Amino acid sequence: MLRLLLRRFAGALVVLALVAVLVFVLTRLASGDPVALLLGDQATAADIAQARIRYGLDKPLTTQFVLWLGELGHGNLGQSIFLQQPVAQALVDRAEPTLFLALFAVAIAALIGVPAGMAAAIWRGSAADQAVSTVAMLGASVPSFWLGLILIQVFAVHLGWFPASGYGDPGTGFGQRLVHLALPAAVLGLLNSALIIRFTRAAMLDILGEDYVRTARAKGLAERTVMLKHVLRNALVPIITVIGLTVALMIGGTVVTETVFNLPGVGNLVVRAVLRRDYPVIQGTLLVIAAIYVLINLLIDLLYTVADPRIRLEGK
Amino acid sequence: MQSVTPPFARRRTILAALAASASLPWASALQAAPTRGGAANLAMIAEPQGLDPMITTADLVGTIMQHVYEPLYTFDANWNVAPMLAESLPTVSKDGLTYTIPLRKGVKFHNGREMTADDVVASLQRWMELSPRGKSVGAQLASLTAKDPHTVEFKMKAIYAPLLAQLALPSGMAAIMARESIAPQLKDFTGTGPYRFKERRPDQYTVLVRFDGYNPRKEPASGYAGKREAVLDELRFVPVPNANTRVEGALSGQFHYADLLPVEAMTRVEKAQPAVVPIVTRNFGFPYIVFNTKEGLLASAPLRRAVQTAVGSGELMAAGFGDNRFFTAEPNFFPKGTPYYSAAGDKLYNERNPQLAKDQAAKAGYNGQPVRIMASRQYEFHYNMALVMAEQLKKAGFKTELVVVDWATLVQRRNDPKLWDVYFTHSGLFPEPMLSPPQLGDGAPGWWETPAKKSALDAFNQEAVIARRGPLWGKVQQVVYDEVPFIEVGKFNSLSARSAKLEGYTPAIWPFFWNTGLAK
B22: confidence class by pLDDT, cuts 50, 70, 90: very low
- pLDDT over 50 at B4, yes or no: no
What is residue A310's predicted lDDT score, i.e. its pLDDT?
65
The shortest CB-CB distance from B56 to any of A40, A157, A269 is to A40
pLDDT at A1: 66
Listed residue (A149, A273, A246, A248) closest to A189, CA to CA: A246
* CA pair distance B174, B125, nearest whole angstrom: 10
Taken as a whole, chain B contains a residue count of: 520
Q: B23 pLDDT exceeds 50? A: no
Torsion of CA A150, A151, A155, A161, to 10 degrees: -160
Q: Are the beta carbons of A43 and B57 separated by less than 8 Å? A: yes
A80: chain B residues, CB-CB within 8 Å: 202
> How large is the average pLDDT for residues A233-255?
77
| DSSP notation for B363-420 | HTT--SPEEEEEEETTSHHHHHHHHHHHHHHHHTT-EEEEEEE-HHHHHHHTT-TTS-
Highest mean pLDDT pick, A30-34, A71-75, A257-261, B152-156: B152-156
Q: How many percent of chain A have pLDDT more than 70?
A: 95
Q: Distance (Å) from the C-alpha of residue B443 to the closest C-alpha of chain A?
A: 6
Task: For residue B2, report the phi and psi dihedrals to the nearest 5 degrees.
Answer: -145, -15
User: B379 Cβ partners below 8 Å, 6+ apart?
Assistant: B1, B7, B407, B424, B426
**For B198, nearest residue in chain A (alpha carbons):** A170
Tell me: pLDDT of A309 over 70. Answer: no
Mean pLDDT of chain B: 90
- Report the pLDDT value the prediction gives residue B123, as an integer from 0 to 100: 98
Instruction: State the pLDDT at residue B449.
Output: 95
Helices A233-253 and A266-276 cross at an angle (nearest 10°) of 30
Cα nearest neighbour of B428 on chain A: A41
Q: Closest to A39 (Cβ–Cβ): which among B56, B205, B408?
A: B56
Q: Nearest residue on chain A to B62, judged by CA atoms?
A: A40
Mean of pLDDT values over A213-240: 79
pLDDT given for residue B2 in this prediction: 38
CB B72 within 8 A of CB B83: yes
Q: Cα(A143)–Cα(A156) distance, rounded to whole angstroms?
A: 19
* Residue from the list B185, B205, B438 with its beta carbon closest to the beta carbon of A170: B205
pTM of the model: 0.84
- How does residue B119 score in pLDDT terms, banded at 50, 70 and 90? very high
Work out the pLDDT band at B32, boundaries 50, 70, 90.
low
pLDDT in tens, A72-92: 888 889 889 988 889 999 999
Distance between CA atoms of B179 and B413, rounded to whole angstroms? Answer: 38
The predicted structure's pLDDT at residue B351: 95
CA-based torsion, A278, B247, A148, B252: positive or negative = positive
Question: Could you tell me if B72 and B120 are in contact, meaning their C-beta atoms sit under 8 angstroms apart?
Answer: yes
The beta-carbon neighbor of B133 closest among A42, A167, A259 is A42
Amino acid letter for position A286: L
Q: Does the pLDDT at position B8 exceed 50? A: no
Can you give the pLDDT at residue A237? 79
What is the mean pLDDT of the segment spanning B112-119? 97
In Å, what is the CA distance from B213 to each residue of B111, B113, B189, B229? 9, 10, 16, 11
Tens digits of residue pLDDT in A261-280: 999 998 889 888 988 899 99
Q: What percent of chain B has pLDDT over 90?
A: 76
Cβ under 8 Å to B: A residues 11-70? 30-34, 36-48
Chain A residues closer than 8 Å to B135 by CB: 47
- What is the rounded CA–CA span in Å between residue A63 and residue A45? 23
Backbone region of residue A168 per phi and psi (left: phi > 0; alpha: psi in -120 to 50; beta: other values)? left
Q: Which amino acid is at A148?
A: G
The 3-state DSSP class for residue B245 equals: helix
At residue A312 the predicted structure's pLDDT band, cuts being 50, 70 and 90, is low
What pLDDT does A217 receive?
80
Alpha helices in chain A (DSSP H): 2-29, 34-39, 45-54, 61-73, 87-122, 127-141, 144-151, 174-208, 211-218, 223-225, 233-253, 255-260, 266-276, 279-307, 309-315
**C-alpha dist (Å) from residue B24 to B15, B142, B179:** 9, 39, 38
The mean pLDDT of B418-427, rounded to a whole number, is 96
Which of A245-254, B269-278, B453-462 is least confident?
A245-254
> Which of A38, A169, A276 lies nearest to residue B56, judging by beta carbons?
A38
- Parse chain A into domains and list their residue ranges: 96-315
pLDDT band for position B1 (cuts 50, 70, 90): very low
Are the C-beta atoms of residues B8 and B260 closer than 8 Å to each other? yes
3 state SS for A220-270: CCCHHHHHHHHHHHHHHHHHHHHHHHHHHHHHHHCHHHHHHCCCCCHHHHH
Which of B379, B326, B374 is closest to B2 using CA atoms?
Answer: B379
CA B295, CA B470: separation in Å to the nearest integer? 33
CA–CA gap between residue B74 and residue B295 (Å, rounded):
40
Are B202 and A82 in contact (CB < 8 Å)? yes
Lowest mean pLDDT segment, chosen from B133-142, B166-175, B459-468: B459-468
C-beta of residue B259 within 8 angstroms of C-beta of residue B281: no
- Interior/surface letters B71-83, b for 16+ CB within 10 angstroms, e for the rest: bbbbbbbbbbbbb
Higher pLDDT, A155 or A294: A155
CB B405 within 8 A of CB B136: no
Q: Which domains does chain B have, with CATH numbers?
A: 282-493 (3.10.105.10)
The SS3 call for residue B308 is helix
Per-residue pLDDT, averaged over B311-335, amounts to 94
Q: Looking at residues A196-210, what average pLDDT do you find?
A: 81
**Got the DSSP string for B162-225?**
THHHHHH-STT---B--GGG--SS-------SSEEEEEEETTTEEEEEE-TT----SSPPBTTB
Flag whether pLDDT at A251 surpasses 90. Answer: no
Instruction: Give the number of other Cβ atoms within 10 Å of residue A19's Cβ.
Output: 18
Phi, psi of A248 (to 5 degrees): -60, -45
For residue B211, pLDDT over 90 is answered with yes
Q: Can you tell me the distance from the alpha carbon of B430 to that of B416, in angstroms, rounded to the nearest whole number?
A: 27
Q: Cα–Cα distance between A63 and A65 in angstroms, integer?
A: 5
Name the more confident of A103 and B371.
B371
d(CA B2, CA B435): 15
Are A250 and A265 a contacting pair, CB within 8 Å?
A: no
Within 8 A of A50 by CB-CB distance, chain B residues are none
> What's the pLDDT score for residue B191?
98
For residues B430 and B16, give the distance between their C-alpha atoms in angstroms, rounded to a whole number: 12
For residue A246, which amino acid is it?
A: T
Kindly state the average pLDDT of the residues B107-130. Answer: 97
Which of B5, B49, B205 is closest, CB to CB, to A82? Answer: B49
Q: How confident is the model at residue A313 (pLDDT cuts 50, 70, 90)?
A: low
pLDDT bin (cut points 50, 70, 90) of residue A252 is low
CA dist., res. A276 & res. A274, Å (int): 5
Q: What is the mean pLDDT of chain A?
A: 84
| Nearest CA-CA distance, residue A45 and chain B, Å | 7
Which residues 108-167 of chain A have a CB within 8 Å of chain B?
149, 152-153, 156-157, 160, 163-167
Rounded (10°) CA dihedral B63, B68, B73, B78: 40
pLDDT at B504 over 50: yes
Q: What are phi and psi of B200, to 5 degrees?
A: -130, 125
Out of A206-215, B261-270, B389-398, least confident range:
A206-215
**B73-102: pLDDT as tens digits:** 999 988 889 999 999 999 999 999 999 999
**CATH topology for A96-315?**
MetI-like fold (1.10.3720)
Check CB contact under 8 Å for A163 and B252: yes
User: Residue A183 and residue A148: Cα distance in Å, rounded?
Assistant: 7
Spatial distance between the Cα atoms of B1 and B58, rounded to a whole number of angstroms: 8
Would the pLDDT of A42 be above 80?
A: no
Which residues of chain A does B49 touch, with a Cβ-Cβ cutoff of 8 Å? Answer: 37-38, 40, 82
Does residue B435 contact residue B134 with C-beta atoms inside 8 Å?
A: no
pLDDT of residue B414: 92
Residues 198-217 of B with CB under 8 A from A: 199, 201-205, 207
pLDDT in tens, A150-175: 899 899 888 889 988 888 887 778 88
CA distance B251 to chain A (A): 6
Cβ distance A272 to B58 less than 8 Å, yes or no, reads: no
CA B41 to chain centre: 23
Whole-number Å distance between alpha carbons of B288 and B347? 18
Of B280, B246, B251, the closest CA to residue B21 belongs to: B280
Residue B275 touches chain A, beta carbons under 8 Å: no
Chain B residues with beta carbon closer than 8 angstroms to that of A84: 50-51, 185, 202
- The band of A13, judged by pLDDT with boundaries at 50, 70 and 90, is confident
Q: Distance, in angstroms, between A66 CA and closest chain B CA?
A: 25
Helix (H/G/I), strand (E/B), else coil: A278: coil
Contact A281, A288 (CB under 8 A): no
Distance between CA B219 and CA B226 in Å, rounded? 5
**Cα A249 to Cα B83: distance, rounded to the nearest angstrom:** 57
Cβ–Cβ of A36/B411 closer than 8 Å? yes
Residue B13's pLDDT band (cuts 50, 70, 90): very low
| DSSP assigned state of B19 | G
Give the model's confidence band at B384: pLDDT under 50 very low, under 70 low, under 90 confident, else very high: very high
Task: Name chain A contacts of B438, Cβ cutoff 8 Å.
Answer: 41-42
| Cβ separation B245–A90 shorter than 8 A | no
Q: CB A42 to CB B205 under 8 A?
A: no
Query: Would you place residue B3 in the very low, low, confident or very high pLDDT band (cuts 50, 70, 90)?
Result: very low
